[in-house]
Amino acid sequence: MKFEAYEFVPGLIKGISELGFKRPTDIQYKSIPSILRGEDVLAVAQTGTGKTAAFAIPIINILHERKKRERRPDGIKCIVMVPTHELAMQLTEVFNQIGKYTQVRTFGIYGGVDQDPQIARLHERVDILIATPGRMFDLIAQGHLQVHRVEILILDEADHMLDLGFIKDIRDMTAKLPKRRQTLFFSATINKRIKQLAYSLIHQDAIRIQISPKDPVSKNVDHAVVFVEMDDKRFFLERLIQENPDSKILVFVRTKVRAERVAKAMDRVDIRSKTIHSGKEQAARTHVLEQFRSGEIQVLIATDVSARGIDIPDVEYVVNYDLPTDKAENYVHRIGRTGRAKKRGQAVSFCSKEERKYLEEIEQFINNKIEVIAISTSEYKDTILFSDNSDLSTIIQAIDEMEDRSRKKKKKRKN
């Protein structure tokens, strides 16, 4: 079935066509009819499967049709809540592209920037508001944002929204919304606790749509893990980058401090990289993402929150420099940045002995064993020895430590 077969308004069909969309993906095919009927939807699907368009397309069509009928078309009719600034900007762009030739206008608000221009824009006609919770609740409290005409509430990356502790604020806000409204939840993963919270906010007869529930990761991604000591990871990252000089590589680390340290380590060996995390100003984060999207920089080092849900084209490698330690499902969100649509991607994880338990949790969550890339002792030594990332004394120390570990393992096996 092609998009032209749907009874969408002509302007919407034109916007969809310009984006190169021809046929709906599975999540779009299953979600669009339910949303058009005004039903509440809880949708769980792999990253990179077109979740944003799954709700953007029908919502724009609904609001365009309603605007033609209503005598009082003023006021925000739909709020889309997202967890990060970057995702708010990305969704705003997608909505505006899809709805370019319709009467529906979309605007995004988020923290980290001056709120005055956002307030001024809210006084103009806005139909769909994309918002992060903090900035949205601030503007509601200040009286600049009115939500009493909202007819549709959407939570994108719903598990993360609720898991971040926004449930009380969300419930407080829903109390201000009209009782007759449509509520949509979209996410790549969702657990039992989050599901219960979601169902408490929507009608009991909500439609649940779940694509590939037993395989939460895309089949387009090849997974591999390398067992590397924590202090040696920088050498192996350098090697991976050097061996793939034309590839776009997204590296995930545990903390923002660690992100800066890894970037400095790469800089010492003349590998240009940038970092993105919550410690940076919004303007800097936006600029770095644009550089990575355009290919101006090939290596981006990120923390989980800052890269959640971001659609960056042509990422060939996602590197888990640090394995996710708080939730195994974060692995799914990380590797969802590659292998998007029909393109293949590579997910490589560096696992130290301290992280073995997290690897087991990830394998249980994705219902699969991750292929281990075996590295011989000589190859391990060579990776460290031929790195420019350290002076001679550091190299010798690293090799001595490695040989010591090897001797202890052999002794254990004999005993």
Q: Mark whether 149 and 247 lie in a shared domain.
A: no
Q: Mark whether 283 and 331 lie in a shared domain.
A: yes
- For the record, the structure tokens of 192 come out as 């039992």
Q: Residue type for 237, please? A: L
Q: Say if 397 falls within a structural domain.
A: no
Average per-residue pLDDT for the chain: 85
- What's 204's DSSP letter? T
Secondary structure (3-state) at 346? strand
Q: Mark whether 19 and 130 lie in a shared domain.
A: yes
From 334, 361, 358, select the one nearest 348 (Cα to Cα).
Answer: 334
Q: Mark whether 206 and 326 lie in a shared domain.
A: no
How confident is the model over 33-38, as a mean pLDDT? 93
* Other beta carbons less than 10 A from residue 262's beta carbon: 21
Q: Mark whether 88 and 231 lie in a shared domain.
A: no
pLDDT (tens digit per residue) in 68-99: 776 655 789 999 999 888 889 999 999 999 99
| Per-residue confidence band for 212, with pLDDT thresholds at 50, 70 and 90 | low
Query: What is the per-residue pLDDT for 307?
Result: 61
User: Using CA atoms, how far apart are residues 43 and 156, in angstroms rounded to an integer?
Assistant: 10
Q: Say if 402 falls within a structural domain.
A: no
How confident is the model over 189-193, as a mean pLDDT? 74
Secondary structure (3-state) at 59? helix
Q: Mark whether 170 and 238 lie in a shared domain.
A: no
Q: Which of 210, 229, 257 is the last residue of a domain?
A: 210
User: Using CA atoms, how far apart are residues 382 and 407, in angstroms rounded to an integer?
Assistant: 18
- Helices then strands (H, E): number in the chain? 17, 14
* Residue 26 scores a pLDDT above 70: yes
Q: Mark whether 34 and 163 lie in a shared domain.
A: yes
57 dihedral zone (left: phi>0; alpha: psi -120 to 50; beta): alpha
Lateral strand order in the sheet of 182-187: 106-109, 128-131, 78-81, 152-156, 182-187, 41-44, 207-210
User: Using CA atoms, how far apart are residues 344 and 335, in angstroms rounded to an integer?
Assistant: 11
Query: What is the per-residue pLDDT for 133?
Result: 86
Residue 223's alpha-carbon distances to 131, 285, 353, in angstroms, are 34, 28, 19
Domain that residue 11 falls in: 3-210
Query: What is the per-residue pLDDT for 392?
Result: 44
Q: Which of 161, 185, 210 is the last residue of a domain?
A: 210
Q: Say if 40 falls within a structural domain.
A: yes
* Residue 352 scores a pLDDT above 90: yes
From 181, 105, 109, 183, select the one nearest 150 (Cα to Cα).
Answer: 181
Q: Which of 166, 183, 210 is the last residue of a domain?
A: 210
Q: Mark whether 358 and 280 lie in a shared domain.
A: yes
- Please state the three-class secondary structure of 66-103 as a single string: HHHHCCCCCCCCEEEECCCHHHHHHHHHHHHHHCCCCC
The reported pTM is 0.75
- For the record, the structure tokens of 18 come out as 């310009």
Q: Say if 75 falls within a structural domain.
A: yes
Q: Mark whether 136 and 238 lie in a shared domain.
A: no
Buried b (16+ CB within 10 A) or exposed e, 144-170: bbebeebbbbbbbbbbbbbbeebbebb
User: Using CA atoms, how far apart are residues 316 and 324, in angstroms rounded to an integer?
Assistant: 20
Cβ 74 vs Cβ 125: under 8 Å? yes
Q: Mark whether 175 and 232 lie in a shared domain.
A: no
Q: Say if 154 falls within a structural domain.
A: yes
pLDDT (tens digit per residue) in 242-277: 999 999 999 999 999 999 999 999 999 999 999 998
- What's 262's DSSP letter? H
CATH for 356: 3.40.50.300
Q: Mark whether 157 and 246 lie in a shared domain.
A: no
Length of the chain: 415
**Count of structural domains, the chain:** 2
Q: Say if 382 falls within a structural domain.
A: no
Q: Say if 20 falls within a structural domain.
A: yes
Portion of the chain with pLDDT greater than 90, in percent? 48
Do the strands 152-156 and 78-81 form a parallel or antiparallel pair, or are they unpaired?
A: parallel
pLDDT (tens digit per residue) in 47-61: 777 889 999 999 999
Torsion 262-265-267-272 (CA) sign: negative
Q: Say if 406 falls within a structural domain.
A: no
Q: Mark whether 171 and 258 lie in a shared domain.
A: no
